[in-house]
Structure 1
């Protein structure tokens, strides 16, 4: 039996999946099976996969049912002692699996290992670093505030832990990876590999780009989590919601608006962020920049708004990760 089951879930990933497959097959740790779960792709994804020849690859094709169902289909077919997921537009460093399995074997009480995540562009260049969190051991409080794993392509998880906490929640269209991380943290310790090993590529079609869908999924995750959270941690909910709306606010500013009403979303998210974290309003320069950018995007033609914004030094926040300095990440600092 293989030591690790790597599970790649894909829907219409023909443009990027070849690089993702290569980053998995180039791992220095080689005792793994590679399960590719094709979720009803219609864009030539299977043709790209067929051009790769490696005995560790197994392809399973199903009707389209979404990411959570694909994750569960992968788990049902997995034979490894450890599980690691990767999405079809993400990349791993060559030593990712080796470093994570080593840290889990050094910490047998931990069930999850995670590394640092950085954002990459279409040319695979790092354009923004992720949270680079270092929390380990009991990380439940940290995860209630935000998803410190930063990506569903990150963690290496003992398969026995899934048998204890259950499958991914298939009723959720987004936020399912964060939900799973919280459920795991409620029962098990986490271990961290403090270096960048996961590279996340967000496109305009990715789940994280659809802010309303993301809001609904993450609100459901937060509500589910705090229903079962210990009483001593329930006060963190307002800060978790504040973090969510800060993230959504920046995410909504990042992509071009398709409809005029989309330009109003940053106003709504800013108001909700301040509602849950009134101190955020004290960041007057930042709030002013957000309001300025939102107004320009909402009321000027696309080309005009881009020209104006590019000339303004006050609107340089381009990636949601850049708001980390404004988010509550350390539960020890919250009374």
Structure 2
């Protein structure tokens, strides 16, 4: 039987102006069946009631550190520097965990000593914490480097548990990246260690209203850099044939992000460029039905006025749902 009292887990929550969700997020940690953890909250100069709400929860395992505002990579690294646990895991300030998340991932790592990282499945919730949809429920363990080259199947930063010595070996999150810091970290980790899957949904990833309209140009730039790094490693020497597929997958995802946003001329132009680039990079996409679905939606967005297009997609939800570009729902 595995003794869950001998090792300590460090849970790191970066937060900036998270007054609407931080209480529920903290509760999902305190409700864990695995109890030997420290909860490190990195407050990035919040200007709302975040700190006041945090202070209302009295638990000796909670440690709050305040810093100037910075991106998520910087704040996670700040948490790593404060952590004293044998295992490190991260949770965004608006996401939630099932109450057995820590226990299940810890057990998986104990039962698989060759693995340095454990991950679980993710489901999406709305702003009211109601179930929206499931996401990637793959069950890949062992050497998963080639899988990550093609797509970030973990999909969010609130998932993995990492052995501290493994995380120390690869270093922290890349603070120079404006996006895709998670994918960059998973690639660095999978280049040196095995992953193990906990095949059950334990992460509840919150989809905020208008979250689809993020900076897709920034996403494009950062993800292309991460793909470039991934294929430049010695471990990818025999995997170069996967590069066109990886870039094609990226542009499918970027196109989905734009098509999921409200119709508009700027979005249409960007979506068109992304779709053409995806096809040029990976010609096999022409033979996949989802591409025709994307083209039809894009044409409707171009031809119809924005309000008409929105009404049209409401009447035909199967056409408007382009979220299956990669064969499953993405979280971000």
TM-score scaled to structure 1, two decimals? 0.90
- Per the alignment, in what secondary structure is the counterpart of residue 313 of structure 2? helix
Partner of 1:332: none
Distance 1:278 1:57 in 2: 52
1:3 to 8, 29, 34: 8
In the alignment, is the contact (CA less than 8 A) between 1:169 and 1:176 conserved in 2? yes
Distance 1:248 1:209 in 2: 11
Matched, 1:92 2:94: no
Partner of 2:28: 23
Quote how far apart the aligned CAs of 1:63 are.
Answer: 0.6
Count residues in correspondence. 323
Q: What's the Cα RMSD here?
A: 2.0
Partner of 1:273: 278
In the alignment, is the contact (CA less than 8 A) between 1:289 and 1:314 conserved in 2? no
1:148 to 144, 153, 162: 153
- Structure 1's 159 and 149: CA in aligned 2 closer, same or farther, altered over 3 A? same
In the alignment, is the contact (CA less than 8 A) between 1:174 and 1:207 conserved in 2? no
Q: Deviations over 1:275-319 (max 9, x none)?
A: 1221211235x333322322333454433221112223551415x
In the alignment, is the contact (CA less than 8 A) between 2:210 and 2:261 conserved in 1? no
1:308 to 268, 293, 312: 312
Partner of 1:331: none
Distance 2:14 2:115 in 1: 25
Partner of 1:249: 255
Distance 1:277 1:326 in 2: 19
1:261 to 261, 266, 269: 266
Matched, 1:120 2:122: no
- Per the alignment, in what secondary structure is the counterpart of residue 122 of structure 2? strand
Alignment of 1:106-185 (within 5 A): 106-185=111-190
Partner of 1:291: 295
The unaligned stretches of length 5 or more in structure 2 are: 1-5
- Per the alignment, in what secondary structure is the counterpart of residue 105 of structure 1? helix
1:41 to 46, 49, 62: 46
- Structure 1's 207 and 70: CA in aligned 2 closer, same or farther, altered over 3 A? farther
Distance 1:54 1:326 in 2: 39
Quote how far apart the aligned CAs of 1:161 are.
Answer: 0.7
Q: Deviations over 1:199-254 (max 9, x none)?
A: 11132565983322222221111111111143111221111111111111111111
2:246 to 235, 240, 251: 240
1:324 to 323, 326, 330: 326
Distance 1:155 1:240 in 2: 22
Alignment of 1:41-60 (within 5 A): 41-60=46-65
- Structure 1's 298 and 231: CA in aligned 2 closer, same or farther, altered over 3 A? same
Distance 1:132 1:326 in 2: 8
Quote how far apart the aligned CAs of 1:53 are.
Answer: 1.6
Distance 1:206 1:312 in 2: 22
Distance 1:206 1:26 in 2: 28
Q: Deviations over 1:117-169 (max 9, x none)?
A: 11111222222211111111111111111112221100000011111111111
In the alignment, is the contact (CA less than 8 A) between 2:100 and 2:202 conserved in 1? yes
Distance 2:326 2:99 in 1: 27
Distance 2:191 2:232 in 1: 12
Distance 2:318 2:198 in 1: 35
Matched, 1:78 2:83: yes
In the alignment, is the contact (CA less than 8 A) between 2:212 and 2:258 conserved in 1? no
Quote how far apart the aligned CAs of 1:326 are.
Answer: 8.0
Distance 2:244 2:26 in 1: 40
The unaligned stretches of length 5 or more in structure 1 are: 328-335
- Per the alignment, in what secondary structure is the counterpart of residue 36 of structure 1? strand
Partner of 2:3: none
Matched, 1:189 2:194: yes
